C-alpha cells in the first residue's frame, strides 16, 4: 500500500508542474491555449447547451406515447398495417418536434400579449390560448381551416355534453 501511495504522489506532481509550465508557455508564445482554458471553454459550451435543452427535458417525455395512434393513422393513409418500428419512431420524432416548436412559439406569442405567467408565481404555467395557435398557423390555409374546424367541433361537443348533463340532472 505504501508503494501505491508513492506511485500516486509523483504522478500528481508532474501534472501540477506541467500546468504551470503550459501557462508560462502561453504567455511567452501567445499561440497555444492552455488545457485549463480549453476545459473551461468546453465546460461553458456544455452549460450553454444544457441551458438550451432543459425546456424539453424538464417537461415530460412523450416519446413512445403516440406509437399506436401514429400506426393507425399511417395505415389509414396507405401504409402497411404494421409499419416498421424505425418508421414509427421517425414519424413520432417529427410530430413531437413540430408540436414542441409550435407550442414554444405560442408561449412566446402569449408572452408578447402579456398572457404568460412567470414560473414560480401562484398558478404558474403558460397560458397558451387557441388564438396563439391560430396566429401561428394563419398563413397556412389548410392548417388554419383545420384548427378552426377543431375549435368549432370542441364547442359543439361542450354544448352537447352540457345539454346531456342538464337533461340527466334531477330537478
Encode pLDDT of 36-71 as tens digits. Answer: 666 666 666 655 554 554 444 444 677 888 999 999
Same domain for 98 and 116: yes
Same domain for 154 and 121: no
Closest CA to 105 of 55, 148, 61: 55
pLDDT tens for each residue of 132-162: 899 999 999 999 999 999 999 999 999 999 9
Note whether residue 137 is domain-resident. Answer: yes
**Inter-residue contact 99 to 82 (CB < 8 Å):** no
Task: Read off the CATH number of the domain in which 78 is found.
Answer: 1.10.20.10
Residue 144 belongs to what domain range?
130-162
Count of domains for the chain? 2
Same domain for 83 and 115: yes
Note whether residue 32 is domain-resident. Answer: no
pLDDT tens for each residue of 161-171: 999 988 887 66
pLDDT of residue 56: 43
Same domain for 137 and 120: no
Amino acid at each position: 500500500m505504501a508503494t501505491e501511495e508513492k506511485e500516486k504522489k509523483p504522478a500528481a506532481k508532474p501534472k501540477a508542474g506541467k500546468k504551470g509550465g503550459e501557462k508560462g508557455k502561453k504567455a511567452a508564445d501567445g499561440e497555444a491555449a492552455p488545457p485549463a482554458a480549453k476545459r473551461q471553454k468546453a465546460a461553458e459550451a456544455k452549460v450553454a447547451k444544457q441551458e438550451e435543452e432543459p425546456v424539453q427535458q424538464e417537461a415530460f417525455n412523450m416519446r413512445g406515447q403516440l406509437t399506436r395512434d401514429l400506426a393507425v393513422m399511417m395505415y389509414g393513409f396507405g401504409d402497411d398495417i404494421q409499419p416498421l418500428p424505425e418508421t414509427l419512431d421517425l414519424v413520432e420524432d417529427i410530430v413531437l418536434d413540430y408540436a414542441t416548436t409550435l407550442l414554444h412559439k405560442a408561449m412566446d406569442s402569449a408572452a408578447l400579449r402579456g398572457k404568460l405567467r412567470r414560473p414560480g408565481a401562484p398558478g404558474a404555467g403558460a397560458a397558451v390560448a387557441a388564438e396563439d395557435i391560430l396566429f401561428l398557423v394563419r398563413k397556412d390555409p389548410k392548417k388554419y381551416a383545420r384548427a378552426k374546424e377543431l375549435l368549432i367541433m370542441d364547442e359543439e361537443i361542450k354544448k352537447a355534453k352540457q345539454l346531456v348533463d342538464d337533461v340527466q340532472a334531477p330537478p
